[in-house]
Amino acid sequence: MNPIVLITGATSGIGKACAAKFAAHKYNVIITGRRQDRLKAVEQELETRYGVAVLPLCFDVQDKQAVFQQLQQLPEEWQHIDILINNAGLALGRDHFDQASMDDWETMLNTNVHGLLYVSRAVLPGMIARKKGHIVNLGSVAGKDVYEKGNTYCASKFAVDALSKAMRIDLLQHNIKITAIHPGAVETEFSLVRFKGDADTAASTYTGMTPLTGADIADTIFYCCSLPAHVCINDIVITPTQQANGIYIYRNQ
């Protein structure tokens, strides 16, 4: 039987690239997201191209009840989840602390932090029973250094960093690997979401530089998940060569 990976936020960007990478290596893939039409399209593409089984689950990771309802009622053949990739997440707005939207703050914290907590707790009992599993959390360079106008997005990713460390400690006894991946600029729909559909501002994020792609991050995650049972990569910060951290980017003139 093929191993199983569950990827949250697989309708776009890094999550979608991870789904393709793992499917190409004969994993059966559980893909999640809120956009049903996108899930259907990804499902069809993966099944056709890679001949693996795909289970699309449409829910909002902020909705605790929906998360547990969907993940506790998986069909028998999907219950043995080997790898969970907590990828669903977003930034909303880029504003000074005193001017940022508090609704945006709540959505970021509810998605990036609460969503990760709910999905992890829903998946963990099976991993604990089997004494085996690997959870990959998507942090960010924003979770390593705070930058101007990053306030609550940065805080949510600092929380992902802290939770990854905490999970690694508390789940040691259950033989569960925890890997945190902290990317710099990756060209996905991230900036379009952050700037609320303003395509010009979104594109300017990547002006004068060569950003990472979703596939770059998927390759890195797949590498971490392909290591022998006794090896765990704890933490990776990965940036474009033209980026030092969340603050310093060298742009071509």
Side chain identity at residue 90, one-letter code: L
Do 138 and 181 form a contact (C-beta atoms < 8 A)?
yes
Closest CB to ligand NDP among 73 and 173? 73
Minimum separation from the CB atom of position 192 to ligand NDP (A): 7
Q: Which of 4, 18, 54, 61 binds ligand NDP (CB under 6 A)?
A: 61
Nearest to ligand 8X3 by Cβ — which residue?
140
Rounded Cα gap, residues 173 and 166, in angstroms: 13
Q: Please tell me the distance from the alpha carbon of residue 101 to that of residue 16, in angstroms, as a whole number.
A: 29
For the CB of residue 112, give the shortest distance to ligand NDP in the complex, in Å: 6
Q: Which is nearer to ligand 8X3, 56 or 89 (CB)?
A: 89
| Backbone phi, psi, residue 154, to 5° | -60, -45
- Partner from ligand 8X3, ligand NDP, none binding residue 19, C-beta < 5-8 Å depending on class: none
Q: From the CB of 22, what's the least distance to ligand 8X3, in Å? A: 22
Comparison of 131 and 149: residue with beta carbon closer to ligand 8X3? 149
Number of other CB atoms surrounding residue 20 within 10 Å = 19
Active-site hit among 50, 118, 153, 250: 153
Question: Binding residues for ligand NDP, how many (CB under 6 A)?
Answer: 31
Residues making contact with ligand 8X3 (CB under 6 A) = 140-142, 150, 184-185, 246
- Please choose which of ligand NDP, ligand 8X3, none residue 246 contacts, taking the beta carbon within 5 to 8 angstroms, the exact cut-off set by kind: ligand 8X3
Q: Is 50 a catalytic residue?
A: no
Stretch that binds ligand NDP, among 42-50, 58-66, 166-174, 236-244 (CB under 6 A): 58-66
Nearer to ligand 8X3, 142 or 167 (CB): 142
> Active-site residues: which are they?
153
